[in-house]
A and B are shown apart, each in its own frame.
Chain A
């Protein structure tokens, strides 16, 4: 599959169809998910209406982790097989991942204040999520700091792969350490413990965020490809003008 998609023209053909489909899908899912989460779903018997924060907090957390997983995987593919598109995918995932991780932290703090009585605690789940956010920022900063594109791509790939170790730490932090954060209630071996009236709107919101992330990444990858092509054409033009000057 990697080598199939590594062909930029084939990717472009696929992305041209897939990108608008994903934008539309995200729009439709948000149109369903937002009223379901804000109006139709019931308030929680313990947390009252603050549980509605869950419908943005949890998808943001999942998608931040998925974005990092994708970034790490793409970096691995780039590092081993040198597929340029894999590097573009990693680059495109970083800003979206950073925004989702940021939203997870901010909405978590807004939820934590009324429910726990604290905006922030240095607990394993919260701290590992903060590390994820900083990994995204570090990756973006590293790539921006190195001018040589190939070197930037390779260094970024190493950082992204090393940071993958943080994903299982985030997932299992609520089991391994004593923490204020509640344990998993959806992805459990014995099935979800959250009621269907809250699980369904949560899943729709998560799907909406997933479609949005896919649309954002595909759009950004095509932007990067267009920029690269424009740069090549600019360089060719400069060479041609130089050659013409020499000919005079």
Chain B
């Protein structure tokens, strides 16, 4: 069983080439996905904060007089 897995992982002697190509793809696609999702979450949080602020300020503040 483990022999089969090892044989598969060896990729017919091209393990270094195959795994590095797939590895760099996984790394770049993963990083792009994480960065995109993080920026989306940040932008949404910032917008939500601004919207809450705007709602609060909507009635003119009394202490301004």
Q: How many residues of A contact B (CB 8 A)?
A: 41
Q: Are B29 and A223 in contact (CB under 8 A)?
A: no
Collect the chain A residues with CB atoms within 8 Å of residue B24's CB: 103, 106-107, 110
Q: Are A240 and B25 in contact (CB under 8 A)?
A: no
By size class, the interface of chain B is 20 to 34
Q: Are A220 and B36 in contact (CB under 8 A)?
A: yes
Our count of residue pairs bridging A and B at CB distance below 8 angstroms stands at 100
Q: Are B17 and A110 in contact (CB under 8 A)?
A: yes
Collect the chain B residues with CB atoms within 8 Å of residue A57's CB: 21
Interface check A175, CB cutoff 8 A: no
Query: A interface vs B, CB < 8 Å?
Result: 38-39, 43, 48-50, 52-53, 56-57, 60, 95-96, 99, 102-103, 106-107, 110-111, 113-114, 212, 216, 219-220, 222-224, 226-227, 229-230, 233-234, 236-237, 240, 244, 247-248
Can you show 21 pairs from A to B with CB atoms below 8 A apart? A43-B12, A48-B12, A48-B14, A53-B17, A53-B21, A53-B22, A56-B25, A57-B21, A99-B29, A106-B24, A107-B24, A114-B17, A212-B33, A219-B37, A223-B43, A226-B47, A230-B50, A233-B50, A233-B51, A244-B61, A248-B64
